[in-house]
Amino acid sequence: MSILNLNSQQTKKIIFNKKIKDKLAKTLVISFAWLFSICFIGLVVFIIIRSIPGFEAYGLKNIFWSKNFNLADYAVGSSVWFPLAITLLVSFGAIIIAAPIGIKTATFIKFRIKNKRLQKFFRVTILALAGIPSVIFGLFAIQSLGPAISFVFHIDTVQNITTSMFMLAFIIIPTIISLTLSTYDGIDMRLIENGIGMGSSYTRSIYKIFKKEARGGIIIAIIIALGRAIGETMAISMILSDQGYQNIFGTGFLQIMHSALRPLGAVISANMFAENGGEGLRGLLYVYGIVLFVAIMILNGLVTYLTRKRSKKTYAWFIKLEKSLAYIVCFIPDQLKILYEKITHRSQYKLHVNNLDNLNNYITDRIQNRKLKRLYTIHKLFFESLAFMVAFAFLAWISLDILVNGIKAINLPTSTVVAYTKNTTGQATINTLIIIIVAILIGLPFSLFVAIYINEYAKNKWPKKVLLFFIDSFGSTPSIIFGMFGLVIFIEIFGFTSMGNIGKSLLAGALTITLVVLPTFTRSIQQSLKAVPMSIRENAYGLGCSKWETIVKLVLPQAKKGIISAIVLTIGRIVAETAPLYLTAGLSSAQSITILNPGQTLTTRIYAQLYENNTNIAHNVMYESAFITLWLVIALIIIAHVIVPYFEFIKHDIKKWFKILKNYLRAPYMRDIKVFKPQIYQKHLYLTHNQAKIMGYNESVNKVAKIGLKLYEIRYVDDEQIQKELLKVRG
């Protein structure tokens, strides 16, 4: 009876402990979710508060209804519409170039490359291009792309809007390709088979059936890429440096395209530390930040709107409008197609309103002999191939440019790759690694707990939707705004620097970059948790496991591969960022490396060379930093897409190799090979109990023997049975 009572008490205690752990865990993850929401709301409130001096100094009229732009004179006016117009011009121009190339390249990779390994290679290559920091694109645009664009368009200088437009297009092409491929992967391939079964060609089935189904995802990919283009700051700042909007805007569109007028993000970054600027100018820049933030939020809201499930009945007006526009746009091409078909093929079957007896024969003859179908396939395949070649030719061009010039720069006597003193590439590499480590140590648990709350605990739809909106809005916020936030909060208010609230520091940079990567980090982990089958959780609950036990012991191990991939991709994002670090960690390094001292990272070191007087030194430093950064990005891509998918196999092979090495080092060495050669079969050595006793082998300990350079597993047998055993295994 006492035993039963004791067991009952123990059971109650275990259940009580499980409930306490569950409540504590739930409270913890909810706290992190609320903290994330507070961070987002705090960012918005902070920008509004910091913009008040700007409104007071310049006035609402001078910011939004002025036709002048002069940051130095409060009374003249500093219209936000001038730089915003340049932002939209450059961004939409980049989309016009990038969208057709990106979509057709994705179509070529998905449908024309049949070899799965080759297809994966091109996908990984595109991701490598997407991971290249934008400042490297800026360097490439100044040194290689810019001269080519200037030669083709007969422009006097490489620093112009046309060059920045093409550069920005190549920055966002990988985003469009990868998101379009993700959309294609989520659509049933049997749609194409159904089209072919109905008499359509393979190419026409792709474009008329499959791509129509993927249209929503493709539009979202373009809008996300547009948001990336609008939010890009540092690469554009390397090319565009003029603020004389009034002088250029009245001279015509061509002169605007040939000018170096700054977009909104570049105006913010260039004037944040202006010598003649006070609180009024800083406040105005925060006003510009609000405008940029609102523009991105509008795009984010548009994406949310387009991803909603909607019925054709509810949006009949939209579909009718879309069809009307399509009819107007396609009227002339459709008439040309009809004319081409009449010229190239005359059917032997004639149709008339009063005679439809030959209808089936006419349709069969038209399908079999329609030359337009072959022309359609050739036309689509040609432009897909052309887009694919352009995208990968550019990748090869930028890679070779960085590799060739980077190797030259590293081999110069002035190279500082292995130097770790002030303002050296070696120190910049160490600083980059420090920021990565600090950001991951802070960001991983934060993102993990928020992701667990969203996926495992958030049952109420309203709080979950609000939190996801905050995450997505946070993720689409331009990084320059995070830099402005970090500058004030972590430096001017908390003083996380060795010089108090007037310096810069790696810690402030790491904390700011943590805020930048939190949304994508959280979303990536949440998707990994979502991919774990619900049946695993249900089976665990059925066996008496608590929710927290199920998450820790079953869900997280199952999602381990996805979480590792999320960490690797987040590290790539940290390496690629420049704007937040430029404002918080600084463009110059201290003599010694400490977390409270300022320090260049690899990307800010490239950007800092724009202010170097000696152009030859600046050129070499840029390329050696870009070379190290490129290899770091390539290594991360290989880890994420080659090593992580085969992590379990690699771990098994490593364990096996260590076991073999351990056995080899511990195994007794048998010198007389001839004596034991007849007793060896494949990887096994058959020893009698008597032989083991003579050699002093402990049968429970000595399981492996070393003969020459090979290891053999020992099998102990009776003296009388050894020949029978050998005959048996040898057949």
- For the chain, what percent of residues have pLDDT higher than 70? 86
Whether the predicted pLDDT of 304 surpasses 70: no
CA distance 162 to 276: 31
What is the structure's pLDDT at 665? Answer: 64
First to last CA, the chain: 62
Minimal CA–CA distance to 180: which of 123, 235, 233? 123
Q: How far is CA 522 from the centre of its chain?
A: 13
Are 679 and 635 within one domain?
A: no
In the chain, how many domains are there?
A: 3
pLDDT digits 0-9 by tens, 507-528: 999 999 999 888 888 888 888 8
What is the structure's pLDDT at 312? Answer: 47
Task: Give me the mean pLDDT over the 474-503 stretch.
Answer: 85
Residue 271 in any domain: the answer is: no
Residue 711 in any domain: the answer is: yes
Are 680 and 628 within one domain?
A: no
Higher pLDDT, 699 or 545: 545
pLDDT band at 72 (very low <50, low <70, confident <90, very high): confident
Residue 364 in any domain: the answer is: no
Are 689 and 603 within one domain?
A: no
Are 596 and 694 within one domain?
A: no
Q: What is the CATH number of the domain that holds 171?
A: 1.10.3720.10
Whether the predicted pLDDT of 596 surpasses 60: yes
Residue 278 in any domain: the answer is: no
What is the structure's pLDDT at 1? Answer: 42
C-alpha to C-alpha distances, 59 to 45, 51, 447, nearest whole angstrom: 20, 11, 40
C-alpha to C-alpha distances, 329 to 125, 333, 334, 335, nearest whole angstrom: 36, 8, 10, 12
Helix ranges, 370-505 (H): 371-410, 425-452, 461-476, 479-486
Whether the predicted pLDDT of 389 surpasses 90: yes
Q: How far is CA 13 from the centre of its chain?
A: 47
| DSSP codes joined into one string, 271-282 | HTT-TT--HHHH
Residue 704 in any domain: the answer is: yes
What is the structure's pLDDT at 335? Answer: 74
pLDDT band at 337 (very low <50, low <70, confident <90, very high): low
Q: Of 284-293, 349-358, 495-504, 689-698, where does mean pLDDT reach its minimum?
A: 349-358
Are 676 and 619 within one domain?
A: no
pLDDT band at 4 (very low <50, low <70, confident <90, very high): very low
Are 553 and 582 within one domain?
A: yes
Q: Return the bridge partners of 261, or none.
A: 242
Residue 357 in any domain: the answer is: no
Are 506 and 624 within one domain?
A: yes
pLDDT digits 0-9 by tens, 605-661: 988 888 888 888 888 888 999 899 888 888 887 777 777 777 777 777 787 777 767
Task: Give me the mean pLDDT over the 527-544 stretch.
Answer: 85
Determine the angle formed by the axes of helices 215-231 and 279-307, rounding to 10 degrees: 170
What is the structure's pLDDT at 430? Answer: 93
Give the CA diameter of the chain.
109
Range of the domain at 671: 667-729
Most confident of 350-354, 497-501, 534-538, 595-599: 595-599
What is the structure's pLDDT at 316? Answer: 62
Are 181 and 112 within one domain?
A: yes
φ, ψ for residue 156, nearest 5 deg: -70, -30
Task: Give me the mean pLDDT over the 401-411 stretch.
Answer: 90
> What residue has token string 């993700």?
182
Higher pLDDT, 353 or 661: 661
Are 502 and 375 within one domain?
A: no
Residue 89 in any domain: the answer is: yes
For residue 31, how many C-alpha atoms fall within 13 Å in the half-sphere facing its CB?
Answer: 7
The tokens for 634 are: 């390539």
Residue 60 in any domain: the answer is: no
Q: How far is CA 686 from the centre of its chain?
A: 56
In our burial notation (b when 16+ CB lie closer than 10 A, e otherwise), range 623-651 reads: bbbbbbbbebbbebbebbbeebeeeeeee
pTM recorded for the entire structure: 0.77
Most confident of 569-573, 627-631, 673-677: 627-631
What is the structure's pLDDT at 458? Answer: 82
CA distance 457 to 453: 5
What is the structure's pLDDT at 567? Answer: 86
Higher pLDDT, 474 or 314: 474
Q: Report the chain's mean pLDDT, rounded to a whole number.
A: 82
**Coil, helix or strand at residue 685:** strand
Contact 633, 131 (CB under 8 A): yes
Whether the predicted pLDDT of 494 surpasses 70: yes
In our burial notation (b when 16+ CB lie closer than 10 A, e otherwise), range 58-97 reads: bbeebbeebeebbbeebeebbbbbbbbbbbbbbbebbbeb
CA distance 296 to 481: 12
> What residue has token string 């050669």?
677
φ, ψ for residue 257, nearest 5 deg: -65, -30
Classify residue 464 as exposed, middle or buried by CB count within 10 Å of its CB (0-12, 13-18, 19+). middle
The tokens for 76 are: 């003249």
C-alpha to C-alpha distances, 535 to 451, 543, 547, nearest whole angstrom: 19, 12, 14
Contact 86, 266 (CB under 8 A): no
Cβ-proximal residues to 63 (8 Å cutoff; 6+ apart), any chain? 54, 55, 77, 78, 79, 80, 284, 287
Higher pLDDT, 11 or 83: 83
Are 382 and 477 within one domain?
A: no
What is the structure's pLDDT at 157? Answer: 85
Minimal CA–CA distance to 237: which of 255, 263, 276, 259? 263
Are 186 and 302 within one domain?
A: yes
Cβ-proximal residues to 690 (8 Å cutoff; 6+ apart), any chain? 719
What is the structure's pLDDT at 93? Answer: 92
Whether the predicted pLDDT of 731 surpasses 60: no
Q: What is the DSSP letter of 361?
A: H
pLDDT band at 163 (very low <50, low <70, confident <90, very high): very high
What is the structure's pLDDT at 674? Answer: 60
pLDDT digits 0-9 by tens, 91-148: 999 999 999 999 999 999 999 998 888 888 888 888 777 778 888 888 888 888 989 9
Q: Return the bridge partners of 707, or none.
A: 710
Are 473 and 621 within one domain?
A: yes
